[in-house]
Structure 1
């Protein structure tokens, strides 16, 4: 299979996996706090990655390790906690939709940090996408007045982190294998997580004897093995065989999967929120339009 076809398959599979991640985070929060969930997720995912790819660390050079570590904190460590905190107040479907802002911020990060140019239409796309995000948050406050939609800001910060990470992988880590990047990322961030977890109260009787401890732990394990380990390696490979902006266009399909799971879990989702979501995706389309034309 040639790389042109392979990148589209990766894009589709990743959208299914990551679109499901938000409902798994929500279920994990039934038994754990955001700090507990984020720390446990890093440790469990790191453990599985070490089992399957520890040897890949030997191929990373001293200079590359610096960027692998930065990628680990920006692309995994901080977003895991940010999304967990966000979903204590906003629905999982809204988190999935707001994640669609990643390509917009990828364009800006590429411009300011790596000198990547963009067109007038792409700038319009960024503005349209941000407008859609604003409407989505505004309408969400009306649907769920008891929720604190300022927590949507955590998702926005996480999308900026993802955008930075995509550009780092594309510009600095082209010679590192996808498995090497993934394992190296977690080798860099697992120690802080191991320090945080005991102090988070994870092992306290109150938590371990809770009604949702085992079910939430099960959701986290699924999230780690599939949503982090497998998806992380696939995404790193996708960035290498395509472009930073194309790779994060996986966010086109993530909202559809996220909304599907949210509705099944009886989350409220209105026509106004759907229109705001489409506005975000229109912005993403305009941002990606030039890149897609180049790739064809």
Structure 2
């Protein structure tokens, strides 16, 4: 892996890890629907500008159904579920539950597509589920009203990512940038009507506006550009190693800015989920063994 790719990898993990921090900051004032509608809309605007600069066509008439399916399962529904969960759960717990997406993807493959499972994958599934149980089971957040419903919502969001993964494997081949751009516009259209069912709940401060812009432009728009560049330079397998780094940054940002407590259960739960996810995805640390300086 080139040094520039390694920098992009850690930058991407730091950005996606911060998304749970921004959710926590803004969701109380805006509510889940308005917050996530703003996120996907600003992401769509940002990617539209990039598309003009790069002369990347969207081909909306040809791929609109694909964009709506991908947008629903990869953005609109999981974003909304995470925002609902963010009203109760900490950024640390949210980031770890997010990291279970590959585990849900493997379970979907086993149950729905009758894929054969190796002992390594089975061990990874057990470890992933155990890690979540440790993290959530010993976290004081469960004592709050509605905490279990929030956990189910966040797990449902990760489950949606698992569905999206299988869908993209079998869907028509569309360039990565077009997938990101088109799905954000589709997600905006999907979420817009939901705002009327979930109106703004509080005062909209400058910090809240900044959090929404950060979620849309930084955590969605810029993040997608970094991710697709990683896929182009290092391949999809190496790029997906970001999954293991996101919880680390999610816990760090939550502790640094929201004073979230890092207990033994946080460290053990995060480590167990990361190991389980690595086994499920077949990740090998050899991607980090040789860091090359480009030039």
Q: Which TM-score tier does this pair reach, normalised by the shorter chain?
A: 0.7 to 0.9
Larger displacement relative to structure 2 (227-236 or 180-189): 227-236
| CA–CA distance in structure 2, aligned partners of residues 61 and 97 of structure 1 | 38
* SS state at 2:131 partner: helix
- 5 Å-filtered alignment, 1:148-167, equals 148-150=146-148, 151-167=150-166
Question: Out of 206, 209, 223, which is 1:217 matched to?
Answer: 209
Deviation at 1:181, TM superposition (A): 0.7
Q: Is the 8 Å Cα contact of residues 40 and 185 (structure 2) preserved in structure 1?
A: no
1:49 alignment counterpart:
47
RMSD of aligned alpha carbons? 3.0
Give the aligned partner of residue 85 of structure 1: 84
**Mind listing any 5+ residue stretches in structure 2 that lack a counterpart?**
290-295
Aligned mates of 2:168, 2:229 — CA distance in 1 = 10
Is 1:17 matched up with 2:5? no
| Alignment check: 8 A CA contact 1:22 1:92 kept | yes
Which one of the candidate residues 252, 259, 268 is aligned to 1:266?
259
Task: Tell me if 1:242 matches 2:235.
Answer: yes
Please state how far the C-alpha of 1:44 moved relative to its aligned partner: 2.0
Show CA shifts across 1:260-283 (max 9, x none): 111122112211232122111121
Partner of residue 174, structure 2:
176
Corresponding residue number in structure 1 for 2:293: none
Structure 1 gap segments, 5+ residues each: none
Deviation at 1:192, TM superposition (A): 2.9
Match of 2:220 in 1: 228
**Equivalent residue for 2:185?**
187
Distance 1:114 1:11 in 2: 31
> CA offset at residue 102 of structure 1?
1.3
**Are 1:286 and 2:284 counterparts?**
no
1:51-93: per-residue Cα shift (whole Å, max 9, x none)?
A: 322663444673x443332111100001111111101111111
> How many Å apart are 1:247 and its aligned residue?
4.5
**Counterpart-to-counterpart distance in 2, 1:67 and 1:238:** 23
Q: Note if contact 1:178-1:237 (Cα within 8 Å) is conserved in structure 2.
A: no
The farther-off stretch of 97-106 and 186-195 is 186-195
1:228 Cα deviation after fit: 0.7
* More displaced 10-residue stretch of structure 1: 94-103 or 49-58: 49-58
Partner of 1:128: 127
Decide whether the 8 Å contact of 2:41 with 2:185 is kept in 1: no
For residues 169 and 78 of structure 1, the distance between their equivalents in structure 2, rounded to whole angstroms, comes to 16
**Aligned partners of 2:91 and 2:39: how far apart in 1?**
17
- What is the rounded CA distance, in whole Å, between the counterparts of 2:269 and 2:153 in structure 1? 19
State the TM-score, normalized to the length of structure 1.
0.83
- Structure 1 residues 107 and 236: alpha-carbon distance in aligned structure 2, compared to 1, 3 A threshold: farther
* Kept after mapping to 2: 8 A contact 1:105/1:160: yes
Instruction: Quote the residue 2:199 is aligned against.
Output: 201
